[in-house]
Amino acid sequence: MHKVVTQMFISGALLALSIGNAFADEVLKPFVLAYETTGDIQAVANEVKDKVKAAGFDVVGTYSPYDGAVVIAITNDGLKKAAASSEFGGYEAGQRVSVTKVGDTIQVSYTNPVYLANAYRIEDTTDAAAALASLKTALGDKEDYGSGDKQLTANDLRKYHYMFGMEYFDDPSELASYDSHDDAVAAVEKGLSEGRGGATKVYRIDIPGKDETVFGVALNDSGCSGDEYIMSRVDKADIRSTAHLPYEILVSDGDVYALYARFRIAISYPHLPMIQSETGATFFNIMCAPNAIEESLIKAAGGEI
């Protein structure tokens, strides 16, 4: 019996490995367009909340970064488990559903948990895949989008950076440091409640089994760090990528981090050119944003610039 179980375990492990290898070459995109509709945007957002709750997700925060856009932050036990499995995996815990009015049409979209799990170097993407399947069933699966003609596989995402000299996942902004995890979380809570740096809290998720907490952060400044400023310059495609928002602050033990903007924005817009495009959306238009975002988040975290 022991021999049979061992053989079954080995066979299962080999099968899982072969499946993993098969998906390693699949092209992944950052967002999924669930469906398009018309009507009142808030009514649609309320319907979306009901659908994701019925599918077993917790709605941990909602905000409107600008007129015609609602972002709904969600999580579930599987996403939190995935987040807990890897160093700095907390960014994976909060996925986003967006409701965006474009002309007379309302677009309902969501982040691809598998795409982000690979970008965040989550070791086992099984729970991310389960979350994606649940979102597709609950909301729909009209079209994957968000990377244009950029063909990014799981392997590409795990070593992603936009271009030579720019940051990787493991080159974060270091915002502040405290004596303990509790002190760090309290400092971030205080900074966000006071709106320091133009930043306010959208959600908080505590990662189970480890001293790690992720905050979703609205950036309300009218200048270079602001959500509306940035999205008005990069999010001009026919299908909007509103679920790029909000930004995150990660507290790990007593240290406070954020993904550096040249990684965090680029992972949502990997196809966006540096200088010229047909829509006018380029990274050159937000050259001031990375440092401005970092300064805003340092202020929110109670750090020193």
The dihedral of CA 223, 258, 30, 66: what is its sign? negative
Query: What distance separates the 2 farthest-apart alpha carbons in the chain?
Result: 67
Mean pLDDT of the region 120-145: 98
- pLDDT at res. 149: 87
Q: Which stretches of 140-279 are DSSP H helices?
A: 154-158, 181-193, 227-234, 261-264
* Domain-embedded: residue 4: no
Contacts of 111 (CB under 8 A, 6+ apart): 30, 31, 32, 95, 96, 97, 243
User: Taking all residues of the chain, what is their mean pLDDT, rounded to a whole number?
Assistant: 92
Per-residue pLDDT reduced to its tens digit, 57-92: 999 999 999 999 999 999 999 999 999 999 999 999
Q: How far apart are CA 109 and CA 94, in angstroms?
A: 15
What pLDDT, on a 0 to 100 scale, did the predictor assign at position 132? Answer: 98
Q: Which residue has the tokens 């049409």?
A: 105
Range of the domain at 275: 28-301
Domain count, the chain: 1
pLDDT at 273: 80
278 band by pLDDT with thresholds 50, 70 and 90: low
Average pLDDT of the segment spanning 144-150:
93
Task: Please report the pLDDT score of residue 275 as a whole number.
Answer: 78
pLDDT of residue 14: 43
Query: Angle at Cα 154 formed by Cα 161 and Cα 216, nearest 5°?
Result: 65
- Residue pair 237/149 in contact (Cβ under 8 Å)? The answer is no
CATH code at position 129: 3.30.310.70
- The answer to whether residues 48 and 97 touch, using CB atoms and an 8 Å cutoff, is yes
Q: Does residue 239 fall inside a structural domain? A: yes
Strand 58-63 relative to strand 247-252: parallel, antiparallel, unpaired?
unpaired
Looking at the predicted structure, is the pLDDT value of residue 276 above 70? Answer: no
Least confident of 62-71, 127-136, 245-254, 276-285: 276-285
- 9 vs 195 pLDDT, higher one: 195
Q: What is the pTM of this model?
A: 0.91
pLDDT tens digits along 50-59: 999 999 999 9
Distance CA 245, CA 265 (A): 9
Residue type, 24: A
- Tell me what the mean pLDDT of segment 186-202 comes to: 98
Provide the pLDDT confidence category of residue 279 given band limits of 50, 70 and 90.
Answer: confident
What is the percent of the chain where pLDDT is above 90? 86
56: in domain:
yes
Query: Is position 19 within any domain?
Result: no
Q: Which of 233, 215, 235 is nearest to 288 (CA)?
A: 233
Structure tokens at 294: 């970092």
Q: Within a domain: residue 14? A: no
Check whether 1 has a pLDDT greater than 50.
no
